[in-house]
Chain A
């Protein structure tokens, strides 16, 4: 059993995920963490801080070894590390919704202070790919930016949605680090500099990522899942009891605000922070997870087995490692949101894999005997079964004991149902038994398509029958595995047989085949050439769409037409003998999904695509115009504010003068004016706030557009599109931007 080597209780709250340890003076490790009211505190147990006496830093009144740093804005991310290789000490980096500050704690000076329009939700520091100097990479709304120590913007790219977590990891084993990005659209993307090399889809928002070793990395989701990936393959994952909101109220709240409620109510349990650390000294890092209910556990990187756990009284804010006692041993440091900090020394090698109370042998014996017990039970079940078979023929009374004909089979069928007045269009899963037995209930475990992780159909006693229809409507175009558990028995049974089977829901199950002529063709299209036979394309169609029966597809050229069940939009796929494929749809995301799906199915590495989405492009054009507008409004408002603050200063002086002169009437008037002005300022602030959120929303839309344009291409053309689009936006050349999106290359 591992006991903490030190426990500290700081009387400051720590905001979740915002803790870092750095050697700000070059030698002594100090803990920096964001606390309430836009402050960052630095805990320095080693030197009684004489040098923190400047204006920005003030001594905490509560503890002598804690100093506070005023940021005056809600801190959204924080890290520490070596940004400038020439400078001997670590730099503290603090990100807020609008700015990034690189701060040299030792010298009390700003290295740089940058405005970042996309906000900084996550930050990571380190070297990326071939870029020589260390970068501070921040992830904001759909955008990633990397700064060097002078504040130069050396890296920029876009991603699919708001970034929630970042990590650097040698993903492909070439000795250079790649950037892992976890975002709000449940995807983990891997960037090799600005090229996306891999994408993994998870089932929830990725809240944390951490490199383990080699190409292995850990991740945590907001629904309480933690796991380990090795390259693109998931090694293991576990889901810990999660999502238990006692009030139904919170379920309906949007995704982001649910997160906030989770943290403040702590009714949901999810991983707050993950970290890789070799706790049992076996040479391999374990995944350490800090949970929102105050639990800390260490799991083996291979199996996910818990090898160590401890409990805090409040949620964990961060898990770190550092030689905090300066004795040459690196400790694992866990911080809770209430400011409790515990340090653990890794176990000695003798204790290898033996961090729990009970001995391994004891556990092994228990496990083996349990297995034996299970097998014996199973054996007994079969014997009982054989006995039952010999007894009298089947009658209804047997149903009570759960006896059903052995040849009972379960049929499942997936089909597309068009919407009626009562029910929206959906995919229907039909489950039926092969005889007179009834289905008492169906449990469907599948992630990402139901509110929870499962869906239950439990008909009332009067409506029991031998078949059940379950409507399923996946919100996203991803393939889903449906794990079905069906309880089969008779009406009066108290014991049921459980039939378990797995059905896969194809990627584009929410599209139904319609005849081509009754629907008008969408004007938007993508056009590309894949040198494949028509039969192969037919196979792809069969695998990815729910076709009524094995639709017979003749030789090229042919065309198929689908209607979306979500919004009724049309989708045409036309194949010409030359291998030229045209996809007509108004939905640019869908076009991107189809291209990516085809590219992976036919193993196409590079694909240049010609695309035109007039409606979408028109919207984008409007958005770009709006961005310009908001920018100018922003500037105007800032100028107004500066004016007003000057006015306030003079009014205040005048008022005080009047008071000293005992001219109460003037003083009163001045203070009245001041009050009015203050009201104006507050109003102005509200306007600025609104303006800013609008601006952010529009910028996000722009970033998303670039990402979508990229997704229409595969491989090298994709990266070309993204970087060319970026250049076009930089030079504010809107026409070029649209040309790039259409053709895929920059006009030379």
Chain B
């Protein structure tokens, strides 16, 4: 199968319990393939002709009958197939954008494109809603159990929007941008109102949607820094009568959670695949009577994980195969390969010949790249994930802003940094990643500095003939470490920056988009807009309120305001707009920010000190034989040695970053006063080296 999108594989319901089910899958070439497994081999039931890229595939049917009609969303069109592969429906929606998400319930069809949500009933337009930010997924509580139709939208701005008709009933804030929604237990749980969500930063949660307000039931964090969640299914794989949660992530992890007595999820097992998991479902495919987890991955692999029949335990392993069948399968594959190889050789010659003629052109064949560039809240760094359908040969990373590339354990590519002459060619970073054979997914970690902005470009070259490469661009915004939040502490001392001038609402919005991540590109509806942000590194806040002709930015961190001021004035000059910038600096805020930094800095300093001592203490221990003579503090360090070292290794250069922030704060504070204090920076660093909170605050006040 070709490259697949999120949620494009389903299992057709079986005629009887635990009979073999068939798999339907739609790919980027627009092909819908339905196949079943017979004696370990895939037998196609039907296959449609290629068309537009399939974004979603859902099953539907008349309520309370087996849901065995196949619906696909491709472009702006919805098509329906029976389980035999006959097309019975083709419905051209009036959406201008292509469909991103779809949900089907009886004759109700819920569709969403990037920003638009539509509800159709029997192909008739019922409701319409324009969301403020990108819609990632749409779902509706089961109509047969809940009295009214309650569609829920998962929006990129960390909000679930619960709709009623065409209006928002209420909004629910979730810990990360929600990527996928699913009904608990497949039917909404006991009340029919339980909703599961998975976020792009790897968190999982359950919420009960009542008619008046949401009830948070539980959330699972992402301590092990795994990838974002792409698909969720509920299926009783453990065989204990309770449905388990199957979760597929974009770093190839498949996880099974089961619910304990208190309805809290417990991780039962996990398995790492090499590519992102686009769809997951529990069912019975390979062999009658044994449950399996069927997953499809980005480049179009369908894998079944079975409950191994050898051990009756539900420890799942790879699919059971019989040797002889394997042999025949391999030999047939070999034949096919030889044939193909010959064909390719011929084509290659043709290609070579065509390159002799002067008229011919050669096109760089396109290939699809699945990429993600996200901010990690925990260590305030960006992670860039690149995934290609074939093996990657090398990736060239080029950036025109100073950034740090961090090491990622998972990636096995050989990194090599190249020297760059920054002045003439605007290069601040040039690095190549040479990948090992069969790497289709590459993960990088990037640390940016606030205030420095520009673009990062990745040139991806896959291992395929003729060799081509594709460029991807990522913007590093001036306030790159900020994240959207929805609540803000108003009691903090704030610095204010006010803009006034002859600019339109769209213009001021575009500036905000330019400065801050996670803001929708389209100006939201309404006259006046408010966004709240939080700095992931320092936990300082930013509030931006703007409308036509006026913009007000408030932050407790002077540096944030200073960066905004610089960038905004530069942007405005570029567009030749006359801006009046006025600011109001709150002296207390500096002290406040220092207080915010203080615990972090102290912790890091202490950690560094402790780690330094470990080796010496260990030697003493060896020498003296016991640790009784040491003071308790040192004994404690020795006991926690492993833990401390791990902690220390996890956050390289954390201290340096904090120092940098304090220095910026210092310079910015006095910049607003109109004095240049660059000469005093060495003095500041001296104070930092022998850190004492009061001395630092005194220095800030005195200078």
Which residues of A line the B interface, CB within 8 A?
Answer: 11-13, 35-37, 39, 60-62, 68, 224, 238-244, 246-247, 266-267, 313, 357-359, 361-362, 364-365, 368-382, 384-385, 388-389, 394, 398, 401-408, 440-441, 443, 445, 450-456, 458-460, 463, 485, 487, 489, 493-500
Q: Is B330 an interface residue (CB 8 A)?
A: yes
Question: Which of chain A's residues have a CB closer than 8 A to the CB of B637?
Answer: none
A sample of 12 more A-B contacts (CB under 8 A), given A12-B622, A361-B323, A388-B361, is A36-B618, A61-B624, A62-B622, A241-B414, A246-B404, A379-B344, A384-B363, A405-B361, A455-B419, A456-B431, A458-B430, A497-B466
- 21 A-B pairs (CB sep. < 8 Å): A36-B618, A267-B652, A361-B330, A365-B330, A373-B299, A373-B300, A373-B390, A379-B347, A394-B361, A398-B363, A402-B468, A403-B362, A408-B355, A451-B418, A451-B419, A454-B418, A454-B432, A485-B394, A493-B471, A494-B471, A498-B468
Check B318–A368 contact: CB distance below 8 A: no
Residue of A nearest to B409 (CB): A293
Task: Return the CB mask of B309-330 against A: 1 if under 8 Å, else 0.
Answer: 0000000001101010010011
Question: Which of chain A's residues have a CB closer than 8 A to the CB of B347?
Answer: 378-379, 382
How many residues belonging to B are interface residues under a CB distance threshold of 8 Å? 88
Expressed in whole angstroms, the Cα–Cα distance for A303 and B411 within the complex equals 22
Q: Is B334 an interface residue (CB 8 A)?
A: yes
Question: Which of chain B's residues have a CB closer than 8 A to the CB of A463?
Answer: 424-425
Question: Which of chain B's residues have a CB closer than 8 A to the CB of A441?
Answer: 396, 398, 459
Chain B contact surface mostly:
mixed
Check A404–B396 contact: CB distance below 8 A: no
Residue of B nearest to A361 (CB): B326
Task: Return the CB mask of B337-369 against A: 1 if under 8 Å, else 0.
Answer: 100110110011011001111101111111100
Question: Which of chain B's residues have a CB closer than 8 A to the CB of A374?
Answer: 390-391, 463-464
Q: Is B336 an interface residue (CB 8 A)?
A: yes
Check A453–B434 contact: CB distance below 8 A: yes
Q: Taking A361-B321, A382-B347, A443-B432 as contacts, is the C-beta distance between A454 and B361 under 8 angstroms?
A: no
Expressed in whole angstroms, the Cα–Cα distance for A313 and B642 within the complex equals 10
Residue of B nearest to A242 (CB): B414
Expressed in whole angstroms, the Cα–Cα distance for A224 and B413 within the complex equals 12
Question: Which of chain B's residues have a CB closer than 8 A to the CB of A460?
Answer: 400, 424-427
Q: Taking A359-B321, A460-B425 as contacts, is the C-beta distance between A241 and B438 under 8 angstroms?
A: no
Check B427–A36 contact: CB distance below 8 A: no
Expressed in whole angstroms, the Cα–Cα distance for A569 and B329 within the complex equals 67
Question: Which of chain A's residues have a CB closer than 8 A to the CB of B52?
Answer: none
Expressed in whole angstroms, the Cα–Cα distance for A371 and B619 within the complex equals 55
Check B340–A379 contact: CB distance below 8 A: yes
- Cross-chain contact of A495 among B341, B354, B412, B470 (Cβ < 8 A): B470
Question: Which of chain A's residues have a CB closer than 8 A to the CB of B464?
Answer: 374, 377-378, 381
Expressed in whole angstroms, the Cα–Cα distance for A239 and B434 within the complex equals 10
Check A358–B432 contact: CB distance below 8 A: no
- Cross-chain contact of A368 among B299, B337, B418 (Cβ < 8 A): B337
Q: Is B461 an interface residue (CB 8 A)?
A: yes
Q: How far is the CB of B423 from chain A (nearest CB, A)?
A: 10
Q: Taking A36-B619, A243-B416 as contacts, is the C-beta distance between A403 and B363 under 8 angstroms?
A: yes
Question: Which of chain B's residues have a CB closer than 8 A to the CB of A239?
Answer: 414
Q: How far is the CB of B86 from chain A (nearest CB, A)?
A: 28
Check B625–A61 contact: CB distance below 8 A: yes
Expressed in whole angstroms, the Cα–Cα distance for A62 and B367 within the complex equals 60
Q: How far is the CB of B369 from chain A (nearest CB, A)?
A: 11
Chain A contact surface mostly:
mixed
Q: Taking A368-B337, A385-B363, A443-B432 as contacts, is the C-beta distance between A495 and B424 under 8 angstroms?
A: no
Q: How far is the CB of A629 from chain B (nearest CB, A)?
A: 38
Residue of A nearest to B356 (CB): A407
Residue of B nearest to A238 (CB): B436
Residue of B nearest to A391 (CB): B361
Q: How far is the CB of B449 from chain A (nearest CB, A)?
A: 14
Most B CB contacts (10 A, CB to CB) among A459, A487, A499 go to A487
Check A37–B619 contact: CB distance below 8 A: yes
Expressed in whole angstroms, the Cα–Cα distance for A458 and B429 within the complex equals 10
Most B CB contacts (10 A, CB to CB) among A364, A369, A378, A405 go to A378
Expressed in whole angstroms, the Cα–Cα distance for A243 and B430 within the complex equals 15
Question: Which of chain B's residues have a CB closer than 8 A to the CB of A61?
Answer: 622, 624-626
Check B366–A495 contact: CB distance below 8 A: yes
Q: How far is the CB of A258 from chain B (nearest CB, A)?
A: 14
Check B415–A244 contact: CB distance below 8 A: yes
Residue of A nearest to B319 (CB): A362
Q: How far is the CB of A666 from chain B (nearest CB, A)?
A: 33
User: Considering the complex, which residues of chain B in the window 355-396 have a beta carbon less than 8 Å from any beta carbon of chain A?
Assistant: 355-358, 360-367, 389-391, 394, 396
Q: Is B16 an interface residue (CB 8 A)?
A: no
Question: Which of chain B's residues have a CB closer than 8 A to the CB of A382?
Answer: 344, 347-348, 350-351
Residue of A nearest to B615 (CB): A36
Question: Which of chain A's residues have a CB closer than 8 A to the CB of B400?
Answer: 460
Q: Is B333 an interface residue (CB 8 A)?
A: yes
List 7 A-B pairs, minimum CB-CB distance, nearest first. A61-B625, A402-B364, A452-B416, A381-B365, A498-B467, A406-B360, A406-B362
Expressed in whole angstroms, the Cα–Cα distance for A60 and B623 within the complex equals 9
Check A443–B425 contact: CB distance below 8 A: no
Q: Is B465 an interface residue (CB 8 A)?
A: yes
Residue of A nearest to B397 (CB): A456
Most B CB contacts (10 A, CB to CB) among A243, A384, A496 go to A496
Q: How far is the CB of A437 from chain B (nearest CB, A)?
A: 11
Expressed in whole angstroms, the Cα–Cα distance for A452 and B415 within the complex equals 8
Question: Which of chain A's residues have a CB closer than 8 A to the CB of B364?
Answer: 401-404, 489, 493, 495-497
Check B333–A369 contact: CB distance below 8 A: yes
Check A404–B362 contact: CB distance below 8 A: yes
Q: How far is the CB of B394 from chain A (nearest CB, A)?
A: 7
Question: Which of chain A's residues have a CB closer than 8 A to the CB of B624?
Answer: 61
Q: How far is the CB of A18 from chain B (nearest CB, A)?
A: 16
- Cross-chain contact of B461 among A37, A266, A365, A485 (Cβ < 8 A): A485
Expressed in whole angstroms, the Cα–Cα distance for A403 and B359 within the complex equals 13
Question: Which of chain B's residues have a CB closer than 8 A to the CB of A493?
Answer: 364, 471
Expressed in whole angstroms, the Cα–Cα distance for A440 and B470 within the complex equals 11
Q: Is B407 an interface residue (CB 8 A)?
A: yes
Q: How far is the CB of B522 from chain A (nearest CB, A)?
A: 23
User: Considering the complex, which residues of chain B in the window 446-468 have a beta carbon less than 8 Å from any beta carbon of chain A?
Assistant: 459, 461, 463-468
Question: Which of chain A's residues have a CB closer than 8 A to the CB of B652?
Answer: 246, 267
Question: Which of chain A's residues have a CB closer than 8 A to the CB of B653?
Answer: 246-247
Check A406–B413 contact: CB distance below 8 A: no
Q: Is B563 an interface residue (CB 8 A)?
A: no
Question: Which of chain B's residues have a CB closer than 8 A to the CB of A440?
Answer: 459, 471
Question: Which of chain B's residues have a CB closer than 8 A to the CB of A498?
Answer: 461, 467-469
Question: Which of chain A's residues have a CB closer than 8 A to the CB of B412?
Answer: 240-241
Expressed in whole angstroms, the Cα–Cα distance for A267 and B405 within the complex equals 13
Expressed in whole angstroms, the Cα–Cα distance for A148 and B391 within the complex equals 55
Q: Is B220 an interface residue (CB 8 A)?
A: no
Expressed in whole angstroms, the Cα–Cα distance for A389 and B355 within the complex equals 11
Q: Taking A62-B625, A361-B330 as contacts, is the C-beta distance between A452 and B418 under 8 angstroms?
A: yes
Question: Which of chain A's residues have a CB closer than 8 A to the CB of B318?
Answer: 357-359, 362
Q: How far is the CB of B60 from chain A (nearest CB, A)?
A: 31
- Cross-chain contact of B365 among A361, A380, A406 (Cβ < 8 A): A380
Residue of A nearest to B616 (CB): A36
Check A406–B468 contact: CB distance below 8 A: no
Q: How far is the CB of A713 from chain B (nearest CB, A)?
A: 39
Residue of A nearest to B317 (CB): A357
Expressed in whole angstroms, the Cα–Cα distance for A288 and B426 within the complex equals 45
Expressed in whole angstroms, the Cα–Cα distance for A454 and B406 within the complex equals 18
Residue of A nearest to B470 (CB): A495
Expressed in whole angstroms, the Cα–Cα distance for A267 and B653 within the complex equals 13
Expressed in whole angstroms, the Cα–Cα distance for A241 and B642 within the complex equals 25
Q: Is B417 an interface residue (CB 8 A)?
A: yes
Residue of A nearest to B461 (CB): A498
Question: Which of chain B's residues have a CB closer than 8 A to the CB of A406?
Answer: 354-355, 357, 360-362
Q: How far is the CB of A221 from chain B (nearest CB, A)?
A: 13
Question: Which of chain A's residues have a CB closer than 8 A to the CB of B615?
Answer: 36
User: Considering the complex, which residues of chain B in the window 573-592 have a beta carbon less than 8 Å from any beta carbon of chain A?
Assistant: none
